[in-house]
């Protein structure tokens, strides 16, 4: 497959220049501790981070540096000890559980290492699950969007297949289609290539990069893999719950070097 065939031919977003001016996600002075007193663990210490609309950001750092905690709080899956997180201008730290559930359903997409597809549903039903969960029948535009996405992801002939009938790479492409189909404000990808071989990994990363670059989809990806991070246009490094480096596109070699330095210090 060439990079061109990996590019989802989705309609370009409207008012891209206006969208680019405001951060799609803003984390201000975020701290998170687990436990209390002598058993307390500080997972995040005063993290401030802005993600621009349409950006593809990799979040890296040694084991235990706070990557998952940051992603969980940004996605409204865990609460902050202090600080705020805004998504598309909404302060999610002030929302109740019901509002958070709706926000996750409508404004956030997720791609996980283990694909997390529903085994009893075929690929089409898995992709359309966000609409189903929202009690919403896709309109003509949403159905057309689903079909163009499926075509771009090379899944057209697989729509009637259930997850166990698909390869790992195909399952992850179904998961990406499911994450993109509602055009969420932000897609969180948690080690999306962790279970894939290197050829499927590159396909998946090229698809995520194309969704960001060509269709203004904002993506935040947690990864340990320097090759995966080299597909992003920004790399944020955490160590001991703090942002210790924040840089633009970098080669896998440069990222590897920095990770080794951070791990040696951890
Ligand atoms: N539920 C919890 N209870 C207690 N401590 C926790 C909990 N979740 C995370 N921690 C601690 O918070 C710190 C940050 O953990 P986190 O999982 O965010 O790191 P990570 O960078 O995602 O690690 P990894 O790369 O190994 O997945 C670690 O010291 C961890 O042990």
Mean pLDDT in the chain? 90
Which residue lies with its CA nearest to atom 17 of ligand 1? 68
Which residue lies with its CA nearest to atom 25 of ligand 1? 63
Alpha helices (H) along the chain: 16-21, 67-74, 97-107, 123-127, 129-133, 140-152, 168-180, 198-215, 226-229, 252-265
In angstroms, the CA 75 to CA 152 distance is 27
Question: What is the distance in A from the centroid of ligand 1 to the CA of 39?
Answer: 14
Instruction: Report the pocket of ligand 1 as residue ranges, CB < 6 Å.
Output: 34-35, 41, 43, 61, 63-69
Q: pLDDT for 147-191, tens place per residue?
A: 988 998 899 999 999 999 999 999 999 999 999 999 999 999 999
Q: Please report the pLDDT score of residue 152 as a whole number.
A: 87
The answer as to whether 9 is a domain residue is no
12 closest CA partner among 158, 168, 145: 145
Task: Identify the domain containing residue 87 by its residue range.
Answer: 23-264
Provide the angle, in degrees to the nearest 10, between the axes of the packed helices 168-180 and 140-152: 150
Question: What is the distance in A from the centroid of ligand 1 to the CA of 27?
Answer: 18
Atom of ligand 1 nearest to the CA of 241: 14
In angstroms, the CA 149 to CA 78 distance is 31
In angstroms, the CA 27 to CA 92 distance is 10
pTM (predicted TM-score): 0.89
pLDDT value at 2 more than 50: no
Per-residue exposure over 82-91, b if at least 16 CB sit within 10 Å of its own CB, e if not: ebebbbbeee
What are 266's two structure tokens? 């951890």
Atom of ligand 1 nearest to the CA of 70: 18
The answer as to whether 33 is a domain residue is yes
pLDDT value at 22 more than 80: no
The answer as to whether 11 is a domain residue is no
The answer as to whether 17 is a domain residue is no
In angstroms, the CA 222 to CA 51 distance is 14
* DSSP 3-state of 230: coil
70 closest CA partner among 116, 114, 25, 40: 25
Q: Please report the pLDDT score of residue 104 as a whole number.
A: 92
pLDDT value at 257 more than 80: yes
Q: Domains in the chain: how many in total?
A: 1
In angstroms, the CA 211 to CA 230 distance is 16
The answer as to whether 244 is a domain residue is yes
What ipTM score was computed for the predicted complex, to two decimals?
Answer: 0.97
pLDDT interval class at 21 (50, 70, 90): low
The CATH number linked to 71 is 3.40.50.300
Q: pLDDT for 46-95, tens place per residue?
A: 999 999 999 999 999 999 999 999 999 999 999 999 999 999 999 999 99
The answer as to whether 204 is a domain residue is yes
Which residue lies with its CA nearest to atom 18 of ligand 1? 66
The answer as to whether 242 is a domain residue is yes
Does residue 153 contact residue 8 with C-beta atoms inside 8 Å?
Answer: yes
The answer as to whether 43 is a domain residue is yes
Atom of ligand 1 nearest to the CA of 32: 12
């Amino acid at each position: 497959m060439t990079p061109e065939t990996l590019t989802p031919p989705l309609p370009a977003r409207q008012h891209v220049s206006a969208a680019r001016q405001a951060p799609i996600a803003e984390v201000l002075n975020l701290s998170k501790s687990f436990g209390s007193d002598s058993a307390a663990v500080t997972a995040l210490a005063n993290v401030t981070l802005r993600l621009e609309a349409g950006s593809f950001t990799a979040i890296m750092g040694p084991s235990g540096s706070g990557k998952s905690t940051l992603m969980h709080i940004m996605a409204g899956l865990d609460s902050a000890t202090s600080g705020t997180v805004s998504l598309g201008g909404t302060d999610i730290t002030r929302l109740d559980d019901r509002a958070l559930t709706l926000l996750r359903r409508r404004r956030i997409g997720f791609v996980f290492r283990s694909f997390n597809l529903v085994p009893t549903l075929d690929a089409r039903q898995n992709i359309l699950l966000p609409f189903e969960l929202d009690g919403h029948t896709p309109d003509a535009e949403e159905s057309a969007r689903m079909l163009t996405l499926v075509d771009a992801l090379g899944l057209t002939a697989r729509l009637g297949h259930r997850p166990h009938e698909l390869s790992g790479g195909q399952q992850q492409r179904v998961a990406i289609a499911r994450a993109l189909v509602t055009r969420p404000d932000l897609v969180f990808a948690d080690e999306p290539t962790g279970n894939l071989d290197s050829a499927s990994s590159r396909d998946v990363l090229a698809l995520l990069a194309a969704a960001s670059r060509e269709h203004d989809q904002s993506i935040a990806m947690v990864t340990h893999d320097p090759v995966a991070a080299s597909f992003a246009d920004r790399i944020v490094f955490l160590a001991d719950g703090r942002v210790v480096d924040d840089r633009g596109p970098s080669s896998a070699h440069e990222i590897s070097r920095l990770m080794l330095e951070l791990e040696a210090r951890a």
